[in-house]
A and B are shown apart, each in its own frame.
Chain A
Amino acid sequence: MTSNDMEYLTIALPKGKLFAPAAKMLAEVGYTAEGLSEDSRKLVIANDELKVRFIIVKTADLPTYVEYGAADIGIIGKDVLLEEDKDVYELLDLKFGLCRMMLAVPEALAQDRLADYAHMRVATKYPKIAERFFRDAGIQVEIIKLNGSIELAPIVGLAEMIVDLVETGRTLKENKLIEVARIHPATARMVANRVSFKMKFDRINKLKEDLKRLVEGVAEK
């Protein structure tokens, strides 16, 4: 099933906070299905009239589904794309879900220069991004991979610094952390499998154009 079937377009959507805006955006360009909701018990939600299928997957897994062609296209945050580093085509910046990947330390540990953070420990959910950032800066650090509650790490002495995704920075403030470097901004992206993009080019390209118009329309308002 899935992309095996040339008639259908399979779209992967991520669980979590990008789900609702992504589903809404697709609905606005006519791509939706009955019962498409994040807590749907069905694993595959199809709209046979429109010949479209939706699958809802864990964010970190989404690039893998698309890379293998289990889904033709997907919507996912740039942060996940950078971290997972999968071979997928990045077709469009959907401009929503704006966050930034950044480096933060407890106020008390703040240094003047980035190089002064050398040899400290960094807690993060994004080890690849963190490693790339410090390597490019020529700084050696020890990276500790965690799966959540990153802010806790400096408080209990597990690490001195954190690399994390923040939206407003409120959590940082609440935990007396200050942002010392911006790594990159991240928004939601439309991605496609490299074979699907070619074999279902007309359909995927039209969807991309429709979404692009929508994104640009919103930006102008």
Chain B
Amino acid sequence: MNKQFLPRIPYGTRDFLPKEAKQKRVIENSLAVLFSRWGYDEVVTPTFEYLETIDVSSGADFGENLFKFFDNTNSILALRPDMTTPMARVAATRLKETNPPLRLFYLTNVFRHEQAQAGRQCEFYQAGVELLGAPGASADAEIIALAIESMRQAGLKDFQIGLGQVGFINGFTEEVAVSTLERQRIKQCIVNRNLVGLGEILTASGLDRETQNIISEIPLLHGGEEVISKVYKVVKNAVSREALDNLADIHRLLTSYGVGQYVKFDLGLIRDFDYYTGMVFEGYTPGLGFPLLGGGRYDNMLATFGVDSPATGFALGIERIMLALERQGITPSNVSKDLYIAWVEGAQAEAISLAAKYRQDGRTVELALAAQQPAEVETIKLAGQYRDVVYVKDNHAK
């Protein structure tokens, strides 16, 4: 080995130093409290699963983005790329015993082997909830309202929710005579808002002009309630209309939750994962070029685990919240410690019991590890790292 060994950390991983780790903990704790208050119970699942579990259920093609390895029987394992699959797996077994709905939440790290982005390394932290066994707009509205509450709870002031419905787009692509491949390509262009590519595919598709025009407008159907009523007039197919009704229902409930003002309809929103079957949404905030959170309804996933049950939920990126707070200049509350206890030679025992007393009272106490001179204690006072400094001398606490 070299004389000077410089340890590296693997690509796509990071350390959280005390200040960041503390901020992370504060955010996570407040989210855990919030989720509990809404009646959600925490679940912890294994960090890795059998590859087949992830493959079979996700529909999201994680493919080469998985971290894979073998166990001692040569079965292939993979680090969980998201929590939706493990939660669905757990819920499928639980749902057989419990009456729906089931409200679950998690706070954990997930792993995806991909190009690291702003606030997303290959290992990153997610908080999320799943509401299982409940179809309908009430469950979807609860999930969205809770997502909005999470962003507020984390300290963000300025944010927006984009709300779409995959049924809206499916209604078109299923109705019109296009091949599966074309349908896939049209969807991909809508996901990426590749308007140029979408135009090219539609021109080559041989669809009638009117349909082409409507489909090419989908990525631009964005705005308040007026969008829904405007679109409703032009859309004739039943599936798309049902999707619009669903969105209108959800929005009405969100107004009752008092969060309607945060929501913008975005009918081009379908998200990258194929497993969504109903409403989908994302959360955005200024200064961060990536969504902070995303979620939606995925009614078919649990069936792959043997329980046919509707499901809806969302996941939020902890690091992205931290980055957004930093970019928006929202600093975490004062991180200084309450108390430093210094002591003179012979007063250590007393200092220890004093520290214990303060800690009992719930104060943050750092205890000196050696006797200190008055000058040293003065320096510590001046450094301002502690709200208060106590100097224990000759049996008389100052």
Contacts and interface: CB of A to CB of B under 8 A. Distances in A.
Interface stretch (B69-77, B147-155, B288-296): B288-296
Interface string A191-205: 011111111010001
A194 B196 contact: no
A68 B289 contact: yes
A198 B164 CA distance: 12
B220 interface: yes
Interface string B29-66: 00000000000000000000000000000000000000
Nearest to A193: B289
Given A195-B284, A198-B264, A70 B289 contact: yes
Contacts of B287: 3-4, 69
Contact of A205 (B196, B220, B328): B220
Contacts of B327: 4
Contacts of A201: 222-223, 264
B207 to A, nearest CB: 20
A90 B194 contact: yes
Interface residues of A, number: 26
A88 B68 CA distance: 29
A79 interface: no
Interface string B189-215: 000111111010000000000000000
Contacts of B288: 69, 195
A5 B222 contact: no
A205 B264 CA distance: 15
Given A198-B160, A198-B162, A199-B160, A90 B289 contact: no
B196 A189 contact: yes
A201 B162 CA distance: 11
B193 A90 contact: yes
Interface residues of B, number: 28
Nearest to B329: A4
Contact of A91 (B193, B282, B290): B193
B222 A199 contact: no
Nearest to B189: A90
Nearest to B118: A68
Contacts of B282: 198
Interface string A68-84: 11100000000000000
A66 B118 CA distance: 12
A89 interface: yes
Given A199-B160, A201-B223, A194 B286 contact: no
B266 interface: yes
A115 interface: no
B158 interface: yes
B290 A194 contact: yes
Contacts of B195: 89-92
A6 B286 contact: yes
Contacts of B162: 198
Given A68-B289, A89-B193, 6 more contacts: A69-B287, A90-B195, A91-B193, A189-B196, A194-B291, A201-B223
Interface of A: 3-6, 66-70, 87, 89-93, 189, 192-199, 201, 205
